[in-house]
Amino acid sequence: MLTKSEKLKNYLKSLKKIVVAFSAGVDSTFLLKVSHDILGDNVIAVTAKSCIFPERELNESVEFCKREGIKQIIITTDELNIEGFANNPPNRCYLCKKALFEKIIEIARLNNIENIAEGSNVDDENDYRPGARALEELNIKSPLKYAGLTKEEIRNLSKRYGLASYNKSSFACLASRFVYGEKITSEKLAMVDKAEKFLYGLGFRQYRVRIHNLLARIEVISDEFEKIMQNKKQITDEFKSCGFTYVTMDLQGYRTGSMNEVLK
């Protein structure tokens, strides 16, 4: 019986040539590394330069591709101009994914590549993911999910491959920090980005700054609750300088998809 890793490699071999949507996160980094090991120059990474992703993620993607000798194409996206996106409806992720992957499809076509892959894993099925419908409609491949890999397994395999991303914090686009129905603006995206950069600089491992109008709701893992209290004045002052009026800590702690808890 094939291992999940073997199943992944065999599947990638069957694709022959692929474009990988590469965000520099744990999943897409592992997928790109294995794809390049298997298919060599028949792999192209496409990364979006966007207002909803921090610049450090883009820089990390560029450094990784240069180090690994992988061809990378960077596209500029403006999600705030996607019809309906800025209003932040529950299907916001669908609107974004569809617009992004339509651009990637065009790049693949220009490079005579039929298959496009992205880094979803089986754990992603446990949360509300409207973007998955866009991937299905556009026939985007999800090799990690096909192989049955979980996030933990991907981290373990990444460590075995010597990838520094194996213990990287989970990340999602900055738009996921907004409560549904609250208008997404470039100014508020910048507020969230600056606030999260500050927590990153303090050494927090896993965090989110959720925005509710001018209230910041900080999510960190329970082991770091005390660290929030130890730095509460510093954090409060910095967040207020970012433009927040109120600064709070969520007693439930960090969890993915907390904004989806209001959905039925």
Tens digit of pLDDT for each residue in 67-109?
999 999 999 999 999 999 999 999 999 999 999 999 999 999 9
What's the pLDDT at 264?
63
Residue of 44, 3, 37 lying closest to 20 (CA atoms):
44
Is the pLDDT confidence value at 123 over 80? yes
Lowest mean pLDDT among 41-50, 70-79, 127-136, 203-212: 127-136
Measured CA to CA, the distance from residue 5 to residue 219 in angstroms comes to: 33
Query: Would residue 139 be called left, alpha or beta, if left means φ above 0 and alpha means ψ between -120 and 50 degrees?
Result: left
Residue of 28, 73, 18, 19 lying closest to 173 (CA atoms):
28
What's the pLDDT at 256?
79
Arithmetic mean of pLDDT, 238-263: 90
Lowest mean pLDDT among 54-58, 124-128, 258-262: 258-262
Arithmetic mean of pLDDT, 39-65: 96
Question: Tens digit of pLDDT for each residue in 180-237?
Answer: 999 999 999 999 999 999 999 999 999 999 999 999 999 999 999 999 999 999 999 9
What's the pLDDT at 170?
84
Name the CATH topology of 4-167. Answer: Rossmann fold (3.40.50)
- The ranges assigned to domains in the chain are 4-167, 185-258
The CATH architecture assigned to 185-258 reads 2-Layer Sandwich (3.30)
